[in-house]
Structure 1
Amino acid sequence: MTEAMEVDAPPPHGTKRKAEDPLPLPAPRRIKALAQDVVNKIAAGEIIVAPVHALKELIENAVDAGATQLDVVAKEGGLKLLQITDNGHGIDKEDLPILCERFTTSKLKAFEDLSSIATYGFRGEALASISHIAHLTVTTRTKESSCAWRAHYADGKLTSPKPGQSAEPKPIAGRPGTQITVEDLFYNVPSRRKAFRSASEEYAKILEMVGRYAVHCFGVAFSCKKHGDSSSGLSVPASAGMLDRIRQIHGSAVANELVSFKTGNDRWGFKCEAWISSANYSAKRTTLLLFINHRAVESAAIKKSIEQTYATFLPKGGHPFVYLSLEIEPHRVDVNVHPTKREVHFLNEDEIVEIICEEIRNSLGKVDTSRSFMTQSLLSTNPKVPFATPMKQIIPTVPATDDTPDGSIPRPSQKPAPTKKPYVNNLVRTDASARKITSMLQSRPSIGEGKTTTDEPDKEYEYTYVEREPTTCRLTSIRELRAEVRDAMHHELTDIISTHTFVGIVDEQKRIAAIQGGVKLFLVDYGMLFNEYFYQLGLTDFANFGEIRLHPPLDLEELLRIGAEQEKRNAGDAADEVDWAEVVATVKEQLVDRRALLEEYFSMEITEEGELCCLPLLVKGYTPSLAKLPQFLLRLGPHVNWVEEKECFHSFLRELAAFYTPECLPLAPPSTSQNTDQNQIQGGEGSGKGKGKEKAVEEDAEIAVRRERVKHAVEFVLFPACKARLVGTRGLLKGVVEVANLKGLYRVFERC
């Protein structure tokens, strides 16, 4: 029994061998020729990688055939159907049997012809490759032919459209030219077909490829649409010029900022024609339309060189639009280095690219010296332009109709809705010219003078106002900062500010004022409010500020030294850890080095010797306290990001807004007003000699004058300006507090 079990035991899974025994080598495999069908499919997979590559080959063949009209139709991104129709010279019937065989061409006879090839296609592989991986139908007619001929192809040979029918081309009615229909692309290569993610992505690539050749091919009309759509996704007439072609395909934003140039060099045997975007335009990615000897190609080296050239002209993250057409002597170009002819190699590439980049620098430099900028106000004063801030309408609203879809502003021909008699608790004073509380108070003469000083010009220093010619600003960074303000807009707060009535200043030290909005009373931190107003004003009037000319100019280093002393006193014990002399020298160097930028964008003129000649003027009728000037200049060093464009403008305008915001003033001596009233009652004699009477404390004359100016500016200049232009943002909500509601007060009185 034991022996039987041993005999029936399964053989071991492996055998042990000694370490010194060599491994058995596999038998050598014999080399065999691949089947022709496999060879053709491999070649087709190298040339036709995606529907867009098949389209590129067909477009080039059509243009080579002298076509002036190309119509492209795609279905499911070109995978289900890709059809291109042209009006070229067509294909002779005798050539149809070998049309889709490999290496059959009318453009190349000997290998030496590659050195002088000047046409798009030359190898005769495009149609052959397509016929091996798709169902191909060709309909063509020459001018001499009396009818068109239709032929079907499979695996490079003529095939019958239906079983049992003849494979020979059939005569049909048709126009001169050729129509090539590619159906079920990659039907026999399922792994390749499954690799495509979405039909819309492939169709976008087709549109992009058609757009490339539509820009380049003068005198040729292009159209491209999805199968079944009535409208074209792209349509360019044959008569369109270069700018019109770029405008229709890439938009007016690009076309309006294009600069053209031509260059060439006989030594390196090339000519170049280019249309490039100026420094006023930038996009998130580079658009490079590169054609070498009229063939759309790609070149990482050329693209990188162009981007490096533009880096000195565009803001960080900005990229250009470049159309570049190179004509290089054919014997210097190797066109047969890529299966899809997407890339070419040519001699002296570095020298040619350097010449082109130098011409780009020169062209951009010429435009940059007279660069124009466009700005868009946050709030337009043109009544035909809609306001960014919602304003209360004077005309009563009516229900929405077809003429007034939003129901907000009825047409003049419409009758306003009948108004009901308002309740008494809804009647509020809304006329800003009506009598205010402040008008009931007797104004006191200023210290040492017999008249008020609120309307007099500042006597601290001599300056003049200078207005500048308005310019336009189209900087992307400024547009983004304006968009951030609009995105942060709080509609209810904006409405309150735009329709408010000023009541009075409550606390000058805490910078609190009272305003009336509708039937409500609000306390507002006007320091926060004006800071936001001046920042928005800086964005709105960017590069269009007025000028405050200082006579004589101020020494920048002395001002910075004064500011450093102020900061040193405020810093306390930590001030000893800072080398203030080095801070002053560093900030002065930064401001002097950037004097051109400061003068162009901010109307702040600084000489090379370090003299401050001019300050920006934001609002007529209001001048910031020059006592804040040293600290403002000192903060421009560490608190402004001078490296990145957007952050530079944002941080500088914030510092400028803080400089223009009215300062906190000390409380007025309490005994001043009391004694003034006593003097008026007692005739001004012996007012300080009575029993229990304290001597009046006189306020510093300079502070008193400044207090009057600030009060006047807050009520008559800044709050009206905020009412007209300020966009209330969500950040201002913490600076506005509701303290009374008329309806609520009426309820209290009714209970009493």
Structure 2
Amino acid sequence: MGNEMELNPSPDSSKIKKTPTQTDALGRIRALSQDVVNKIAAGEIIVAPVHALKELLENSVDAGSTSLEIIAKDGGLKLLQISDNGHGINRDDLPILCERFTTSKLKAFEDLTSIATYGFRGEALASISHIAHLSIITRTKESSCAYKAQYADGKLVPAKPGQSADPKPAAGQIGTRITVEDLFYNIPTRRRAFRSGSEEYAKILDMVGRYAVHCEGVAFSCKKQGDSSMGIFVPVNASTIDRIRQIHGSSVANELVEVKVSSDRWGFTASGWVSNANYSVKRTTLLLFINHRSVESSAIKKAFEQIYTIFLPKGGHPFIYLSLEIDPQRVDVNVHPTKREVNFLNEDEIIETICDEIRGGLTKVDTSRTFLTQSLLPGVSIPTIPLTPSKDSQPSTPQRDPRTTQKSTTQKSNSQRPYENALVRTDSRVRKITSMLPPTTRPSNEANGEESQPLKDIEYEYSDKEHVSCRLTTIRELRAAVRDEMHSALTDVFASHTFVGIVDARKRIAAIQGGVKLYLVDYGMLCNEYFYQLGLTDFGNFGSIRFNPVLNLTELLTVAAEQEKAVTGEDALDWDEVVTLVRDQLMGRRNMLEEYFALEISEEGELLSIPLMMKGYTPSLAKLPQFLLRLGPKVNWSSEKECFHTFLVELAAFYVPEPLPPESVLGQMQGEEDAEEHGELAARRKHVLRALENVIFPALKARLVATKGLLKGVVEVADLKGLYRVFERC
């Protein structure tokens, strides 16, 4: 057989020529060139733009940054830039910054057992420099200027041929800006593997969103280059709940349960937020951090999904954010090139302990479920359900949402009656709650069959004063302070609320509806915050309430002093001197008060006007003397920022509607003097109640930024779904 093969060779085999050099080359082992080694290592660590960003994010957080700005172009392939305000990089360290295995966080291999920082192996910047054009601008706190350096293949390179490669002085703030351009420019096969820049940018947003949720105390922003809108923006002082709301939406942020568990036996501490049974999506969202590093764990994810199978409908999945801190000696973080996976001891026991805590938390809150109904589009008429339909009237069919028209044509023509528990009052004009009260308990204007109309009994004159754009730094800082204290969920409630009615005018309590929930609110507290914010937004552009005849400033202050003396009983205090001091303070600052606050005082000490903050509502002038007297001791006249802040606080307090006596008290007044007082109080009560419904609460809906302090003045008293469940069982 062997001879046969030799005598009759195949046609193709006669054409093959094997050279000794090729055989030897395939059979010998040789060391790869350093350039090939570095590119292979870079390909293992930087698989996609999002991996480069993750390494840079971790380095910036390690540098003590409180603000991170990310800009991307073409999904990070053309440009990926991250700027931070951390401690910066020392100029002497720049030459070896991009060499492999250079780090400030390890000295010996044993340090890996106690590592608690992010980028510790010194490979990220080195890998990036081998597959992209890398430039860095950095400045430390001690340096008088910033330094700019450019890198290629781990080494410093000149910006232009013929120039020195040493770092050059440049303008820059304290911190570091790293710019990565043309990622994978020298690996065309890897570059062609990316399908679209939009897909890569979505991965970048996901990664930034993960660290934005976890890194409390750090501001994050991310956008496309040249795009004015932010893909992600999280302020520095946002809480974890607010960060989740900013990234993942209010629907999940409103349905979260806090989880906290620790074990000395297994050496771990876990904290986070998980969605309750009212929230469900098609795919599990798991934000998992182990020792503050974003990682993935199929075992943890599978265990969590198993818990929710008994709480969510079929096909439903949860949202989970979990920060797991494990004793560093129990963790091996050096098992994956991108550090995406970690190994740790007692994994099953730790997972089971966390699952027990989540299961217990979900069981506690699983007392009721919330089912959302689809809201109507603007312009669609609102269905009304008459309580006592007439005989000749036919049941009306609610109009369908235009978005469901096409779908409904394939169904049966007869429409089903909506469930009662899905009927939500969405417009206060449909029917008033006071119409359900007996006639004796209704407000006088409604008992007579009159509806509350917008206020028309106040006349206004328009001046030719032009709007002034306020550029004072102090006012901008005060406005920013309000935004920093914003409570997003409460702001959403007021922005979409429906005014129900005044519950108690003496205690200043009103009822509003937000979605399917009923709230009692302290409208005195709300008005105080709103008028303060209004003072900041309209600063320098107030209208004016002019007095005719003019009022004597000294007499007003004297009246306030006598009232204060009667209330406090301070006889030892020289009240005449107090009046003189306050008058001198106001007279000495007449120009500033008139320019900024429309509080006009003549040279003769006559009060000509006070600020007009809202059309359709006039503050109680009975509070005017006290307001003027408090401007002396309560306003800090020595500091510009504090002066504006304290003055606007007092102005807001002056504008807050005063507590009103009930009509039953007014009805008990007798005699001529009482009759006159009754008329004044009744007129004032009518004015305030009409203004609250028609002017103030609509203004709160349009402009109020609800701060965290307002949580004390808002109480949820009913939920439509919960009430329906109760009555359904009766």
TM-score (norm 1): 0.50
Deviation of 1:165 (Å): 1.0
The 1:432–1:196 alpha-carbon spacing in structure 2 relative to 1, beyond 3 Å, is same
1:124-273 to 2 correspondences below 5 Å: 124-273=122-271
Match among 301, 306, 309 for residue 308 of structure 1: 306
Match among 318, 321, 344 for residue 319 of structure 2: 321
The 1:227–1:350 alpha-carbon spacing in structure 2 relative to 1, beyond 3 Å, is same
Contact 1:375 1:541 in 2 (8 A): no
Contact 1:139 1:180 in 2 (8 A): yes
The 1:378–1:247 alpha-carbon spacing in structure 2 relative to 1, beyond 3 Å, is closer
The one-letter code of the counterpart of 1:295 is R
Aligned residues between the structures: 401
Contact 2:331 2:342 in 1 (8 A): yes
- 1:392-411 Cα shifts (integer Å, max 9, x gaps): xxxxxxxxxxxxxxxxxxxx
Structure 1 unaligned runs (5+)?
1-9, 16-24, 392-430, 437-480, 495-528, 543-752
Match of 2:352 in 1: 354
Match of 1:39 in 2: 37
Match of 2:370 in 1: 373
Q: What is the SS of the residue equivalent to 1:153? A: strand
- 1:640-683 Cα shifts (integer Å, max 9, x gaps): xxxxxxxxxxxxxxxxxxxxxxxxxxxxxxxxxxxxxxxxxxxx
Deviation of 1:367 (Å): 0.6
Match among 72, 75, 81 for residue 74 of structure 1: 72
For 2:239 and 2:86, the matched residues in 1 are separated by 21
The one-letter code of the counterpart of 1:278 is N
The 1:100–1:364 alpha-carbon spacing in structure 2 relative to 1, beyond 3 Å, is same
Deviation of 1:30 (Å): 1.1
Contact 1:51 1:202 in 2 (8 A): yes
Match of 2:475 in 1: none
Q: What is the SS of the residue equivalent to 2:352? A: helix
Deviation of 1:487 (Å): 5.6
The 1:138–1:485 alpha-carbon spacing in structure 2 relative to 1, beyond 3 Å, is closer
The 1:435–1:235 alpha-carbon spacing in structure 2 relative to 1, beyond 3 Å, is closer
Q: What is the SS of the residue equivalent to 2:61? A: helix
Q: What is the SS of the residue equivalent to 2:286? A: strand
Deviation of 1:492 (Å): 14
For 2:147 and 2:380, the matched residues in 1 are separated by 61
Aligned: 1:275 with 2:270:
no
Contact 1:52 1:205 in 2 (8 A): yes
The one-letter code of the counterpart of 1:284 is K
Match of 1:22 in 2: none
Deviation of 1:14 (Å): 4.4
For 1:492 and 1:310, the matched residues in 2 are separated by 34
- 1:363-418 Cα shifts (integer Å, max 9, x gaps): 110011x22424538999xxx98447799xxxxxxxxxxxxxxxxxxxxxxxxxxx
Contact 1:390 1:491 in 2 (8 A): no
1:575-654 to 2 correspondences below 5 Å: none
Contact 2:213 2:244 in 1 (8 A): yes
For 1:486 and 1:318, the matched residues in 2 are separated by 27
Contact 1:482 1:539 in 2 (8 A): no
Match of 1:533 in 2: 416
Contact 1:389 1:491 in 2 (8 A): no
Q: What is the SS of the residue equivalent to 1:360? A: helix
- 1:457-502 Cα shifts (integer Å, max 9, x gaps): xxxxxxxxxxxxxxxxxxxxxxxx99997664459998xxxxxxxx
The 1:484–1:81 alpha-carbon spacing in structure 2 relative to 1, beyond 3 Å, is closer
The 1:540–1:42 alpha-carbon spacing in structure 2 relative to 1, beyond 3 Å, is same
For 2:105 and 2:292, the matched residues in 1 are separated by 16
For 2:303 and 2:392, the matched residues in 1 are separated by 67
The 1:171–1:362 alpha-carbon spacing in structure 2 relative to 1, beyond 3 Å, is same
For 1:39 and 1:319, the matched residues in 2 are separated by 43
The 1:434–1:311 alpha-carbon spacing in structure 2 relative to 1, beyond 3 Å, is closer
Q: What is the SS of the residue equivalent to 1:533? A: coil
Contact 2:269 2:325 in 1 (8 A): yes
Contact 1:160 1:168 in 2 (8 A): yes
The 1:29–1:175 alpha-carbon spacing in structure 2 relative to 1, beyond 3 Å, is same
- 1:115-171 Cα shifts (integer Å, max 9, x gaps): 000000111000000000000001100000000000000000000111111101000
TM-score (norm 2): 0.52
The 1:435–1:93 alpha-carbon spacing in structure 2 relative to 1, beyond 3 Å, is closer
For 2:159 and 2:255, the matched residues in 1 are separated by 52
Aligned: 1:95 with 2:93:
yes
The 1:52–1:390 alpha-carbon spacing in structure 2 relative to 1, beyond 3 Å, is farther
Deviation of 1:267 (Å): 0.5
Q: What is the SS of the residue equivalent to 2:92? A: helix
1:294-443 to 2 correspondences below 5 Å: 294-368=292-366, 370-376=367-373, 386-387=380-381
- 1:184-207 Cα shifts (integer Å, max 9, x gaps): 000000000000000000001001
For 1:377 and 1:204, the matched residues in 2 are separated by 28
The 1:165–1:492 alpha-carbon spacing in structure 2 relative to 1, beyond 3 Å, is same
Contact 1:378 1:540 in 2 (8 A): no
The 1:389–1:189 alpha-carbon spacing in structure 2 relative to 1, beyond 3 Å, is farther
For 1:376 and 1:136, the matched residues in 2 are separated by 52
Match of 2:540 in 1: none
Deviation of 1:229 (Å): 1.0
For 2:286 and 2:221, the matched residues in 1 are separated by 21
Q: What is the SS of the residue equivalent to 2:27? A: coil
Contact 2:278 2:371 in 1 (8 A): no
CA RMSD of aligned residues (A): 3.3
The one-letter code of the counterpart of 1:329 is D
Deviation of 1:230 (Å): 1.5
- 1:9-60 Cα shifts (integer Å, max 9, x gaps): x996547xxxxxxxxx966711100000000000000000000000000000
Identity of aligned residues (%): 67
For 2:39 and 2:328, the matched residues in 1 are separated by 31
Deviation of 1:290 (Å): 0.1
Specify the structure having the higher radius of gyration (Cα).
1
Contact 2:376 2:401 in 1 (8 A): no
The 1:12–1:325 alpha-carbon spacing in structure 2 relative to 1, beyond 3 Å, is closer
Contact 2:277 2:369 in 1 (8 A): no
Deviation of 1:533 (Å): 3.0
For 2:345 and 2:73, the matched residues in 1 are separated by 41
Contact 2:137 2:148 in 1 (8 A): yes
The 1:490–1:390 alpha-carbon spacing in structure 2 relative to 1, beyond 3 Å, is farther
Contact 2:46 2:128 in 1 (8 A): yes
The one-letter code of the counterpart of 2:181 is E
The 1:539–1:98 alpha-carbon spacing in structure 2 relative to 1, beyond 3 Å, is same
For 1:38 and 1:266, the matched residues in 2 are separated by 47
The one-letter code of the counterpart of 1:220 is V
For 1:141 and 1:435, the matched residues in 2 are separated by 79
For 2:215 and 2:352, the matched residues in 1 are separated by 26
Contact 2:156 2:165 in 1 (8 A): yes
Match of 1:121 in 2: 119
Structure 2 unaligned runs (5+)?
1-8, 15-21, 395-399, 425-730
